[in-house]
């Protein structure tokens, strides 16, 4: 028996219940089905244009850079421009996301590498599951399509966000996660990223790239 199971067994024993009583199960299921919504800030609310504007403003306030392209096919050109203008190597690591594979990378001079990073990649590109207008945050889920190592190890991270995936708040992101994956099938990791990595732990001096990328470039597509 694990420590968790032992604790629950002690609680049930002290209450004189087994946990299988019909009234108790009904109360729990009703509570889960009708859980009240918490207070949701208004900052990220509004129509599509309002959400995009708020997202861009908040992401830039967190030191991320942004660009907008009309279609996913324009992402390779924007990625090449960003790397070139930041004097970064013309190589880019990405996962197995089918949306990335369908992009015209051969129209650029970039060397495209696939799979998780081993810590030697300077540049990476991922597709966000969603974005949060309220705080300028991107939500990335783990898996072979977009490996989590790409969110932390390279110096420069480029993240593609589709316009329709810019949601108002965190509650909307969690709702979409449940809808997309179903009960008991959530991804192993969900990373919420706001701006490039930074720390001011040492003498209150701001250091970029402390625990992840020094630069975060968000490409809004659509």
Secondary structure of 187-215 as H, E, C letters: CCCEEEECCCCEECCCCCCCEECCCCCCE
What average pLDDT does this structure show over 128-141? 97
List the domain boundaries for the chain. 48-221
> Under a CB-based contact definition with an 8 Å cutoff, are residues 142 and 190 in contact?
yes
Q: Is a pLDDT exceeding 70 seen at residue 13?
A: yes
Q: What is the CATH number of domain 48-221?
A: 3.40.50.10420
Residue 37's pLDDT band (cuts 50, 70, 90): confident
Provide the percentage of residues in the chain whose pLDDT is more than 70: 94
> Under a CB-based contact definition with an 8 Å cutoff, are residues 163 and 48 in contact?
yes
pLDDT tens, position by position, 39-64: 888 888 989 999 999 999 999 999 99
pLDDT tens, position by position, 147-203: 999 999 999 999 999 999 999 999 999 999 999 998 888 899 999 999 997 665 666
Q: Is a pLDDT exceeding 90 seen at residue 34?
A: no
> Which helix (DSSP H) or strand (DSSP E) does residue 32 occupy?
helix 22-33
Q: Is a pLDDT exceeding 70 seen at residue 134?
A: yes
First to last CA, the chain: 52
Q: What is the pLDDT of residue 82?
A: 98
Mean pLDDT rounded to a whole number for the chain: 91
pLDDT tens, position by position, 96-121: 999 999 999 999 999 999 999 999 99
State phi, psi for 161 to the nearest 5 degrees. Answer: -125, 120
What average pLDDT does this structure show over 119-142? 97
> Under a CB-based contact definition with an 8 Å cutoff, are residues 150 and 126 in contact?
yes
> Under a CB-based contact definition with an 8 Å cutoff, are residues 125 and 160 in contact?
yes
Query: Which CA distances in Å does 3 have to 7, 10, 152, 167?
Result: 6, 11, 32, 39
What average pLDDT does this structure show over 76-104? 97
């Amino acid at each position: 028996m694990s420590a968790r199971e032992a604790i629950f067994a002690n609680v049930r024993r002290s209450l004189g219940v087994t946990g299988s009583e019909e009234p108790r199960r009904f109360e729990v299921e009703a509570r889960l089905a009708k859980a009240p919504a918490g207070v949701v800030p208004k900052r990220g609310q509004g129509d599509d244009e309002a959400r995009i504007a708020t997202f861009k403003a908040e992401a830039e306030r967190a030191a991320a850079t942004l660009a907008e392209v009309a279609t996913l096919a324009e992402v390779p050109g924007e990625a090449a421009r960003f790397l070139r203008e930041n004097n970064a190597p013309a190589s880019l690591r990405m996962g197995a996301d089918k949306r990335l594979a369908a992009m015209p990378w051969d129209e650029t001079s970039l060397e495209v590498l696939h799979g998780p990073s081993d810590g030697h990649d300077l540049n990476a590109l991922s597709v966000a599951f969603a974005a949060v207008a309220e705080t300028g945050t991107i939500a990335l889920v783990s898996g072979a399509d977009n490996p989590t190592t790409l969110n932390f190890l390279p110096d420069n991270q480029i993240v593609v966000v589709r316009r329709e995936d810019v949601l108002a708040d965190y509650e909307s992101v969690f709702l979409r996660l449940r809808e997309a994956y179903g009960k008991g099938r959530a991804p192993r990791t969900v990373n919420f990223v706001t701006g490039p990595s930074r720390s001011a732990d040492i003498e209150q001096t701001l250091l970029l790239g402390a625990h992840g990328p020094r630069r975060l470039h968000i490409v809004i597509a659509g």
